[in-house]
Amino acid sequence: MQLGRFQIDLLNDGVMRFDGGAFFGVVPKALWERLMAPDERNRVTVNLNCALIRAGGKTILVDTGVGTKHPEKRRGIFAMAAGNLPDQLRQRGIEPEEIDYVVLSHLHFDHAGGATHYTGTKELRTTFPRAQHLVQRADWEEATSPNERNAAGYFEEDIEPLRSNRQLELLDGDTEVLPGVWCRRTGGHTAGHQIVVLEVDGRSACFFGDLIPTVHHLPLPYSQGYDLYPIELLDQKRRLLDQAVREQWLVVFDHETEHPAGYLERSGQGRLQLRPVDL
Ligand SMILES: [Zn+2]
């Protein structure tokens, strides 16, 4: 869809499955299983949504999905069926070489995995060879010196080639990377988690990353067990959702399967509802 001078396309690298308990944190299964039905291994299917933004001759990708590099065992644990992002770009007439910027909401493998791939001869390459990859410095630092709790979320082969290929640009907090294209550091999910906010002609669009991964995570207490800083996340979520409703932002959810984008409204009881739109 068109938002002012921005052309926005929703892309999908594929699907994978997360443990339902981990995906809903402290919410009891008796509640979340009514929203997302688990499989026999208690996993829920999530999309790996990415966004393509075009404006002023520049091409920006928001997140890259999980990609194709994962060994068989890991693919099985997460039921990964992904790696569609390059084809999805080509279907819209864009070659991976034409991407100018890749904004990574954070460096967890389900968002940064598609940024690199193995060639047919098993060489590790960046998928978007001309792109600068924009990452918050705090996220890079956390990802490259993880602790015992968060280490399982990062893989060196996802992120090290960005640095060694000089395709990495570290941001220190909120940054307007192109006119009207903001990377806003939220923290919460990880220390340097960022969202992308577009601002044009009094209208805005927001790509929430893992701050609010699906419409089922709109209620304030519904957040992921993977969140490293849950109280920070709660504060950011409360503030951003209020603003999104008040200013009628177009909102986009990274892991939502049914209604990845739309506008938020409050019902009579104050509950948030999404009015879906197609991107
Ligand atoms: Zn994620």
Helix (H) or strand (E) holding 16: strand 6-19
CATH of 2-276, one of 3.90.1310.10, 3.40.640.10, 3.60.15.10, 3.40.50.150: 3.60.15.10
152 C-alpha to center of ligand 1: Å? Answer: 13
What is the spatial distance between Cα 114 and Cα 4, in angstroms, rounded to a whole number? 29
The pLDDT, as a whole number, for residue 2 is 95
65 C-alpha to center of ligand 1: Å? Answer: 9
Using one digit for the tens of pLDDT, what is the confidence trace for 35-80?
999 999 999 999 999 999 999 999 999 999 999 999 999 999 999 9
| Alpha helices per DSSP H over 145-229 | 156-164
Q: What's the pTM? A: 0.96
201 C-alpha to center of ligand 1: Å? Answer: 30
Region of 111 please: left (phi>0), alpha (psi -120 to 50) or beta: alpha
What is the spatial distance between Cα 82 and Cα 88, in angstroms, rounded to a whole number? 11
The pLDDT, as a whole number, for residue 268 is 83
268 C-alpha to center of ligand 1: Å? Answer: 31
118 C-alpha to center of ligand 1: Å? Answer: 22
261 C-alpha to center of ligand 1: Å? Answer: 16
The pLDDT, as a whole number, for residue 270 is 85
Averaged in consecutive runs of 10 residues, what is the pLDDT profile of the chain (279 residues)? 96 98 97 98 98 96 98 97 98 97 98 97 97 98 94 95 98 97 98 98 97 98 96 98 97 98 92 94
265 C-alpha to center of ligand 1: Å? Answer: 25
CA contacts within 13 A on the Cβ side of 243: 12
243 C-alpha to center of ligand 1: Å? Answer: 23
Picking from 73, 71, 77, the residue whose alpha carbon sits closest to that of residue 16 is 77
The pLDDT, as a whole number, for residue 155 is 96
- Name the DSSP class of 255: T
211 C-alpha to center of ligand 1: Å? Answer: 9
213 C-alpha to center of ligand 1: Å? Answer: 7
